Amino acid sequence: MIQKTVHAIQKVKQSLQVKKPWDNVIIFALNILIAIPVFIIAHQNLIDPNWYFQLDQILLFVLILAVIQLVLRLMRTVIIVCIALYLVALVIGSVSGKYGFRSVAEDYQYMIYAMNENPNPQDIIISKLLPFPNKTKIINAVEFENPHVRDFALMATTKDFKGIRGYSNYRTIIQCFAVFKEINSRWNYVSDPKGKDYIAKASESLRYFSGDCDDHSILMAACVKSIGGTPRLIHTGGHIYPEILIGSKADLETINYLIKKVLFVSESKGNQIHYHQDERGQIWLNLDYTATYPGGPFMSEEILGALTFN
């Protein structure tokens, strides 16, 4: 009885074995397929040391390849079962709308693009604890619940980037980028009265899309917040500009790809995405009137304060 059982097990093992050299080919192909999502998950969750030439990411990927290759070679007698289980998991993920074939391909695409077109981090360092200028007036001027402000923001979302498909997780950010494009394409810089600091409400700036930097920032923040985005205003020595929260470093890879390859291709061509990373690791992109695309260069002035509209 024992001999029959052992014989049956050996027959099963033989039926699952792949003949040389195809076993090595299949193991390597399976290694690549498994290593990509594992690397993406590890890359998104580990602390980024920001080594030169992305050496940390290259070494991480090589290490994952080596470990998976070793494990697969030890499991080569059941390689067919491993392939089947992996493919079934991806099929289930694709059908259920979760992590499937398309997700693996897209994440890999964003990651590789971000490694080639690496965004440029700029730490937000507030060296002086100064009160935000005209804080109460600015908060009152950011009329995100004003129906005219929201109507304008809704119009912008139907005019630009409405046909973008496949980025449901970033729909609100894409719509905020549409608002950015609409405001900045119309904005006309006009100085305040001499010797006065005039604070225009968002609904007031909608009439002529004119004013100085704080008027532009107020209108941008109001429109972004009115459609679900999270804006904040940055105060420097002689300037105020708006930023938008886009999320984590993992989100930055997708947003970087979206800006440079889908939404602002001509405006961002040959340029880097600049961003601030706050003390919680959250990423903020510049929406200033001086920028032609989200994440354009910052004005090189010392940051004195930030006013966030959660």
* Confidence check: pLDDT of 21 > 70: no
Pairing of strands 210-211, 188-189: parallel
Q: 287-307, pLDDT tens digit by residue?
A: 999 999 999 988 867 788 899
Cut 0.85: pTM above it: no
Q: Whose structure tokens read 């730490």? A: 123
Least confident of 17-26, 47-56, 150-159, 268-277: 17-26
Task: Show the domains of the chain with their CATH numbers.
Answer: 2-116 (no CATH), 124-308 (3.10.620)
Computed from CA positions of residues 106, 109, 110, 112, in that sequence, does the dihedral angle turn out positive or negative?
Answer: positive
Q: Whose structure tokens read 């007698």? A: 77
Q: What percent of the chain has pLDDT over 90?
A: 41
Q: For the residues 125-140, what does the mean pLDDT come to?
A: 78
Q: What share of the chain is helix, strand, coil (3-state, %, to 5)?
A: 55, 10, 30
